[in-house]
Amino acid sequence: MPLFPRLYNFAHWLTQDRASAEDLVQETYMKALRGFPSFKQGTNFRAWIYKILRNTFLTTQAGLKASALISLDSDDDKPVEPASPETPESALLARAQQETIQRALEDLPLKFREIILLCDSEEMTYQEIGELLVIPMGTVMSRLSRARRAMRQLLTTKLQGVQR
């Protein structure tokens, strides 16, 4: 299935719940298969399917309430630390930083979180993001700038709270 891991990753960030992300990706593929005749050959397939995923998310209960759910599952969805010659202390610090960044990203408003994820995680171009979100490229750039500024402020606040 094309783009499955990337779509699931984006869906998981949007829903912040594993089961909801799986349902969202499944619904996205169903809608894409039903609507495939409307796909124009030579256009950007990735932007097309991401748009289906995003629109599906926004029209579901998860997207409308846009609230973070606390998972009662185990920590299975946390990234596994790679084996390295690092000391336990440096690995612990790196993990703490990663968790701080992840929490800050989760605290961002949805429109900022999705634009950072599309640009930095999914490595979409500004044009692809503009097509997906149906906004001009200038809006993509300004929203990304505001999102990164908000992320910096959240990280600064979180790191200052840790140092106290």
Q: Average pLDDT, whole number, for the chain? A: 80
What's the pTM? 0.56
Cβ contacts of 80 within 8 Å, gap of 6 or more: none
**To 5 degrees, how large is the angle CA 10–CA 67–CA 1?**
20
- Tokens read off for 13: 């960030």
pLDDT tens digits, residue range 88-104?
A: 666 666 677 778 788 88
Domain 1-67: give its CATH code: 1.10.1740.10
The three-point CA angle 99-159-141 to 5° equals: 75
Q: CB within 8 A of 31, min separation 6: which ones?
A: 52, 56
Mean pLDDT of 113-140: 91
User: Alpha-carbon torsion 100, 106, 111, 117, what sign?
Assistant: positive
| Residue 115 CB partners (closer than 8 Å, separation 6+) | 129, 133, 140, 143, 144, 147
What are the domain boundaries of the chain? 1-67, 96-164
Residue 72 pLDDT level (bands cut at 50, 70, 90): very low
| pLDDT tops 60 at residue 70 | no
Does 8 or 2 have the greater pLDDT score? 8
Q: How confident is the model at residue 68 (pLDDT cuts 50, 70, 90)?
A: very low
Residue 123: predicted pLDDT: 87
Q: Is the confidence at residue 20, as pLDDT, over 70?
A: yes
The Cβ-side half-sphere exposure at 133, using a 13 Å CA radius, reads: 26
pLDDT more than 90, % of the chain: 24
- Give the integer Cα–Cα distance in Å for 124 and 16: 21
Cα–Cα distance for residue pair 18/7, rounded to 1 Å: 13
Topology given in CATH for the domain delimited by 96-164: Arc Repressor Mutant, subunit A (1.10.10)
Q: In terms of pLDDT, which residue wins out, 102 or 144? A: 144
